[in-house]
Structure 1
């Protein structure tokens, strides 16, 4: 979608070039072609689905042909189509929230036929779901190359994304007996060791929980009221499952990519051998990672980072905490799954990440789904400054010359893959010239892009091999090509 929008601002793109682009364009998760010569009713469904997912482009006046070139139909009256579009966009009974502005609509005239491109932005979480015809059940979501009505569970997930801090839900009928005593004492000792000036050891368990914001007093009857997050963090496993029926924690180690059988596992299914809550799972997984990573962790007795800890530790620890803190534990697929392979670690949790990919990897912005859990992890020294975990993961990959971390996030699930092999080593199909060129781009990720002439000077490849390698890396999905003619630049994906 971004590439299409870039093309609309490039005055050098001729209408014949646009004709070629539109005839070869296929529907995807971010592109929708509408064959109608007017504004079809299905436009609003696609508008809702793109706004509720990751944004997209609706192209009016083009019919997709699955077996050949698309057909440019054009619009009967583009002015009327635009009038209907803007009237509908301004009518809350047609669409619940306006998701396009003037700069998001482009009209092209191709061989005397008008084509309209409408770029729909993803809506802010506070405005989702975007629905049509005045009924919230008329909300759509984009899956693959089609629009589908949103499910009830997905509507509830969007509502939770608006409110946040579901882990601060008060539990008036739960008591200290619902917490695992050993886990609570572990939390207390780790927090007290981190903040010795507060003299937390002198507090009773009730006083301690109130002090750290994990509980409060009921002022009517003076009873202790626990919050949901502290039960997740140090509760008994059966009590957690009572509150969160789909709660499930799994850690797997695989010696190969066969997936047929794990070689080592940590799971809440093992709770009969000891309570499994977020704290005990974190400690067990952290200790296991320490035993298998090629760069040894540097941890103290409390599994907290020492000043001389390595880059790998920081990246994996931040990813583990991130998965536990940002999970939506009320999703029907509420499982958190951590997988360790010889060349990568995969961290998967239920729920959509509440900031976009660029914000996550650039740092400084954090919208934790569970603020109490984030606070508890910080109290034990398991999390860095809020909002900087993503950039530490990214910078570790850069410094190690690893493949760029892969982050995928949708309403039901977020998955982060941290590679521990270099990008170049992962693909045996790359030629030596391909590898040299790719290595150059890896070392210059901070640059916005390079022209062909710049690459010719900086890489010292011949013109023939440079063109060949550029085409190869674009085809394999490593590089992006932006612009047209002399303004073409190349950059890492």
Structure 2
């Protein structure tokens, strides 16, 4: 079964979208062919980049409900894994009292085609139908698996063209990370062979980018350049600029020193203790820059890696769009390397996290530092732009997280920190396991009832923020308090009474028409108020004015 259940909001969004390459609705009121149709549709959606197959919905989006696979739903994921070779999560959802099944289908891997065990060999979508994949499409997919640029041999590049300072800097990082001092004694050739930068064929592009002398980079790969620009404010002209076209392991510390020289410190108090957060977190910047070097497209000769910093944020721009299969929505869950050899060398030196965890760490740091979430605004097919916020927006969130984890003696995973940040930003929580844990630990509270219910951070957060009134506003008044407020309002209105529509304006929180009607009817049954007229145009009075 799937961990992250589909919210009603997300499901309704799908219902409002037309069927396409990545979304398919099937009525399947009583059954759905497990042998042919199910693998065919799942394989086709995977071949189109992944998507959702929803059973129990008709073509005109009517909620029919389905009896398909009742009692056997737990076996479907394993069945599809055996037949298609990919894991497909199957979710059973009750929507408007009807049972629907949602198949969460991942994308095929880069350069791979999903073969079906049904009526088609390699199915793909053609409008609302399935067809056999064309030879052109098969060729296009197979060509995606391009060779790793960083592994390719570089002509006219020899050991005499290696920068010894860059090699020595790497060996120190490598020996420290792997806890092996003997690495410091390795010759240049032995080091390069050990890390995959040199083979019997010769030196490769990873060796050139990370260790090659400046003269060779200028001549052979001039786009392997890092440009740093600092702007004191959001303006066109920069206040400072520095360019590097040198081996990365020679200049990586200098790049950080130029950024750090413009770091701003944000002090905050936790009781009598003063703490601080800096604008530019070294760990996050190091990871982001290393990712840009490992992921950029070096075939784009006209572009360089840009680091643009202001007091509000730091943006790292890497030429080339996202690697196939990765996008803004799945970047925290999926990792694909464009230049794997460079990435592996960075891992040996401890400059990047294990594959797939680096971006998690960057997001985790900015959330824990009260800066909010990074984003990828400005990213397109030709450049990836990672924007990391630099300003502390909510120091009380920092205190809240630190105190809660210390008091409760718990450790929160990145996924849990991410869910808490979404709650802080008034977004819906999707991970049911996290929600249960947060409620048990007293990290969050549930306010409201029915479809209007939501989750907010606990009262402690608003105490640290010094805005307990905001918690009261979010929680809202109790039913008895609402009745008392209505009676007070009618006392002021006197013999003139008050229209039903006026009552909605006396509450700070949103109240549904149904809830308001229930409260008024309860007060009427208790002989405390009465009405003249009907509906929203009716007037209400205190019972003491009934015969006046």
How does the TM-score come out when normalised to structure 2? Answer: 0.49
**Residue 192 of structure 2 corresponds to residue 209 of structure 1:** yes
Q: Any stretches of 5+ residues in structure 1 without a counterpart?
A: 9-16, 65-70, 80-89, 141-148, 219-223, 269-274, 297-308, 426-436, 470-493
Instruction: Give me the whole-angstrom Cα distance separating, in 2, the residues matched to 1:286 and 1:327.
Output: 19
Partner of 1:188: 167
Match of 2:473 in 1: 465
Q: CA deviation at 1:359?
A: 10
Q: Which residue of 2 aligns with 1:232?
A: 209
Q: How does 1:281-296 map to 2 (within 5 A)?
A: 282-295=252-265
Partner of 1:479: none
- CA positional deviation for 1:289: 0.8
**Distance in structure 1 (CA, Å) of the matches to 2:251 and 2:357:** 23
Q: Which secondary structure does the structure 2 equivalent of 1:321 belong to?
A: helix
Any conservation in 2 of the 1:321–1:382 contact (CA below 8 Å)? Answer: yes
Question: Post-superposition shift, 1:347?
Answer: 2.7
**Following TM superposition, by how much is the alpha carbon of 1:150 offset from its aligned partner in structure 2, in angstroms?**
7.9
Equivalent-residue separation in structure 2 for 1:48 and 1:413 (angstroms): 29
Q: Are the equivalent residues in 1 in contact too, given 2:166–2:210 (CA < 8 A)?
A: no
Residue 244 (structure 2) pairs with residue 253 (structure 1) = no
Aligned to 1:25: 16
Q: CA deviation at 1:229?
A: 1.2
**Residues 1:345 and 2:335 aligned together:** no
1:397 partnered with 2:382: no
- Match of 2:158? 176
Deviation at residue 402 of structure 1 after TM alignment: 1.3
Tell me the equivalent position of 1:312.
Answer: 281
2:387 is aligned to: 417
Paired with 1:318 and 1:375, the residues of 2 have a C-alpha distance of: 13
Paired residue secondary structure (2:445): coil
Q: Classify the secondary structure of the residue corresponding to 2:438.
A: coil
Given the alignment of the two structures, is residue 120 of structure 1 paired with residue 115 of structure 2, yes or no? no
- Change in Cα spacing, 1:210 to 1:151, as seen in structure 2 (3 Å) is same
- What is the SS of the residue equivalent to 1:190? helix
Contact 2:22 2:49 in 1 (8 A): no
3-state secondary structure, aligned to 2:373:
coil
Cα 1:466–1:356 shift into 2, 3 Å: same
8 Å Cα contact 1:154/1:411 also seen in 2? no
How many Å apart are 1:456 and its aligned residue? 7.5
- Rounded Cα–Cα distance in structure 1 between residues aligned with 2:3 and 2:299: 37
Query: 2:218, 2:331 → 1: CA distance?
Result: 30
Deviation at 1:231, TM superposition (A): 1.7
Which is higher, the Rg of structure 1 or of structure 2?
Answer: 2
CA displacement at 1:215 relative to structure 2 = 1.0
How far, CA to CA, are the matches of 1:439 and 1:367 in structure 2? 26
CA 1:29–1:418: 2 relative to 1, 3 Å: farther
SS in 2 for 1:450: strand
- For the residue of structure 2 that corresponds to 1:338, the secondary structure is strand
Equivalent in the alignment of 2:62: 72
1:377 to partner: Cα distance = 3.7
Distance 2:189 2:305 in 1: 30
Relative to structure 1, is the Cα distance of residues 318 and 73 closer, same or farther in structure 2, using a 3 angstrom cutoff?
closer
Could you list the per-position Cα deviations for residues 71-99 of structure 1 after superposition, in whole angstroms to 9, with x for gaps in the alignment?
63969x998xxxxxxxxxx999xx97666
Q: Aligned with 1:447: secondary structure?
A: helix
Change (3 A) 1:253 1:447: farther
Take 1:347 and 1:419, find their aligned partners in 2: how far apart are those partners? 12
Determine if contact 1:51/1:99 at 8 Å carries over to the other structure.
Answer: no
Tell me, in whole angstroms, the C-alpha distance in 2 between the residues paired with 1:456 and 1:225: 60
In structure 2, list runs of 5 or more residues that go unmatched. Answer: 69-78, 127-135, 267-277, 396-419, 426-433, 449-455, 463-467, 478-548
RMSD, aligned CA: 6.2
Distance in 1 separating the partners of 2:219 and 2:94: 56
Pairs aligned (count) = 384
Contact preservation (8 Å) 1:352, 1:413: no
* TM-score normalised by length of structure 1: 0.54
Q: 1:129 to 1:186 in 2, by over 3 A?
A: farther
Query: Matches of 2:219 and 2:114 in 1, distance apart?
Result: 33
Checking the alignment, whether the CA contact within 8 Å between 1:338 and 1:347 is kept in structure 2 is: yes
Post-superposition offset of 1:230: 0.8
Check conservation: 1:250, 1:338, Cα contact below 8 A: yes
Q: How many Å separate the matches in 2 of 1:424 and 1:361?
A: 23
Higher relative contact order (CA closer than 8 Å, sequence separation 6+): 1
- Given that 1:338 and 1:348 are in contact with CA atoms closer than 8 Å, whether structure 2 keeps it comes out as yes
User: Are the equivalent residues in 2 in contact too, given 1:232–1:278 (CA < 8 A)?
Assistant: yes
- 2:261 is paired with a residue whose SS is helix
Q: 2:446 maps to what in 1?
A: 451
Please report how far the alpha carbon of residue 419 of structure 1 lies from its aligned counterpart in structure 2 after TM superposition: 1.0
Cα distance, 1:255 vs. partner? 3.5
> CA separation in 2, counterparts of 1:333 and 1:48?
37
Tell which deviates more after alignment, 192-201 or 395-404. 192-201
Gap change, CA 1:379 and 1:32, over 3 Å in 2? closer
Return closer, same or farther for 1:278/1:371 CA change in 2, 3 Å cut-off. Answer: same
